[in-house]
Structures are given as C-alpha cells and as structure tokens.
Amino acid sequence: VLGQTEIQVRTGDQLGNAKRLDEVIGRYIVHTKAALSPQYSLEGLRVVVDGANGAGYKLAPLVFEELGAEVIALGNTPNGTNINQACGALHPQLCAETVKKYRADLGVCLDGDGDRLTIVDGNGDVIHGDKLIGLCGKFLKDNHEIGPTSEVVGTVMSNFGLEYYLHQQNLKFTRTQVGDRYIVEHMRQSGALFGGEPSGHLIFKKYSTTGDGILAALKVIESIKFYDMDLADLTKIEMFPQIMQNVLVQKRIPFEDVPEIKKAMKDAETKLGKEGRILLRYSGTEALARVMVEGKDTTLVNTLCDELTRVVTKALG
C-alpha cells in the first residue's frame, strides 16, 4: 500500500496518545434517552429486547428499563462466539415467539454491532423495514421534524410501495446506492434529516450521524405514542410485489448502451406507468445481471420480468 515510502520513527513527545473515556456507557444512555420526546415514557410497556449477544446486549435493556418499560431480555449472554447466532435482527423468530408468549407490546431486535434493528409487533409479526421507514417518515412530517427538504432517503432496493406511500404523504423519496454510508452522504449533501434501508438501518440525523438500533427503536415507539395506535395498524403500508431474476452474463456492458435492453426497459416502464419500477444491476461479486421488477399488478410484474430476463440473456448471456 505504501510502496517505497519510508515510515519515519517517532519517539518521545512526538508519539500520539490515547485515553480511556470513563462512564462512556452512562453518557451513551443519557444521549440516547434524550432522543425520546420528554412528553412520553415507556411506563406500562412490556418490551422484548434481543441484543444479539453483541454490542447492545447490556445497553439496550438498560435504556428501555430506565425509561420505564418492563423488559424481557434475550441475546444477552455473549461468550465471544455466539454473536447473531439464532438471535437478533438477523434471526427474529425467537423474539417473535417471546412477544406472543409473554403478551408483550413489541419486540426490538438489534444486530451484532447494534447499528440496525428489526421490530416485532404485538401480534408477533416481524415488520418489514420499509414499513418502518414509511411510518417514521410520516411521523417526522406530522411532528414537524422532517426538515425543510421534506425528504426521506432510501436505496435502490427500497420497495416501490414505500415510495408510493411517501408520495401520498407529500414527501420526497430519494434513492442511493445500497449501503447506509451512501444514505448518510446524500443526507449531508441535501440536508435531509431521515433515511433508512429495508435491512433496518434507520438514520435520524438530528440525533445521530449513523444508524443506531436502540435510538431508532425509541423513535418507532415515540411514533406509536404520538398516534396512540397499535404498531400493527400503523404499519399497514402496502408493499408492492417484487420479482427478481438472475442472468449469467459473459460481459458487463452498461445496460443503456445495449439498444435492445434499452428499448425493452422503456416499453416495460411505459406499461408500469407510475405504479411500478424496474431495476437492472450487475452483481458486485458474481458474473450476474439482476433483473428486478416491482408493481401493483402481480401478473404484469411477472410478465415484464420474464420478458426483460429473456432480452438480457440474449444480449449478454
């Protein structure tokens, strides 16, 4: 990496230094609790909190307990090797079963490094990440916290149903490349205050510069309190049928440079109108082109995906 560059030796007062931050857990708890509006508490809530045997295994239960919730803790016995094993945001089944068993109000599942979450409603149903983005976007708008851009930032993988729903709420929806860092980058450029991925990264820029599963869970709970409705009712946001097919390709040519693919895409987009979208992209690790079609009409989505797949296969396969 350094080539022929020689690294100079530093000694004495030229050396850098490090120091330990005392009470860092307490500082984090105070900061995160402040994200919940002071007009609300979690008293009376029974919450299942799954720390994924990871970074949030100790902090998450403490935050919710200090705000008044009755906490049933899962994924809180890390041994150095069991992070994310059959628990947490990647495996929310145990949390869902525990919510039903103890009649909890909801479940919060963090992933191993605590930067994203999966939410389980009081019925034990796992809530789609895009539905959480839709709920939080509407809440921030209605609570006058969405910011001057009235914008929610997602990625190319966000379901078109989310975009359709946000437009109904008079909110702009912008897509970036997949990855929360691209969302944050766009938020910095545009001034947007909220964004997220269907995987559970929710970024509330007013309170944090990156994804934070505990903080995001508090904002979801705040939206429940704000509307005084069950989470299951608040997340009745229609997700559009999505079909994806993979095509083995011999060459990687920009899709717009292939006339037959360009024409097929234009024809398909015309048929979908404003109630669907098409995404063609190459895999980052395999010799594959991914053909994805979303829309309200399942039959039309399947037909268009099959047609596009044939065209891409013929042109690039």
CATH architecture of 24-234: 3-Layer(aba) Sandwich (3.40)
Provide the strand spans (E) within 144-191. 151-155, 172-176
- Mean pLDDT per 10-residue run, the chain (317 residues)? 69 79 87 95 97 96 97 97 96 98 98 96 97 98 96 94 96 94 96 96 95 97 97 95 94 94 95 92 90 94 96 93
Can you give the pLDDT at residue 3?
Answer: 60
| 8 A C-beta contact, residue 145 and residue 120 | no
Cα 128 to Cα 119: distance, rounded to the nearest angstrom: 8
Closest CA to 202 of 62, 82, 35: 35
Kindly give the pairing relationship between strand 202-204 and strand 117-120. Answer: unpaired
| Superfamily name and number for 242-316 | Alpha-D-phosphohexomutase, C-terminal domain (3.30.310.50)
pLDDT of amino acid 228: 96
pTM of the entire predicted model? 0.85
pLDDT of residue 14: 79
Residue extents of the structural domains in the chain? 24-234, 242-316
